[in-house]
Amino acid sequence: MRAWSAAVRGYRAALRHRRDPAYAGVGSTDGTTHLGLPADFLIDSDGSLVAVHYGRHADDQWSVDELLSIDRSLG
C-alpha cells in the first residue's frame, strides 16, 4: 500500500509541474538542471571564442540568419 501512495504523490507532483520546463526532477539548489540542452560556440580561425549561445530547450540554437548577423558584426 505504501508503494501506491508514493506513486500517487509522484504523479501529482509531475502534474503540478508539467508546464514548467525548469522542473525535471534533477534540479540542483542553484536552479540548474542536468538536462542535455544545446550550446552553440562560434570559434575564430585563431581558436578564440567569438560568441556563445546557450539553448533554453532542445530546439534552441542559432539560425543561419543569426550566424550571418554575428559574422557581419565582427567585420
Contact between residue 58 and residue 38 where contact means Cβ atoms under 8 Å apart: yes
Grid coordinates of 28: 540542483
How far apart are the C-alpha atoms of 54 and 61, rounded to whole Å? 8
* Domain locations along the chain: 2-74
Reported as a single tens digit per residue, the pLDDT across 5-62 is 888 887 787 788 777 766 655 555 565 656 678 899 999 889 999 999 988 888 899 9
pTM of the model: 0.51
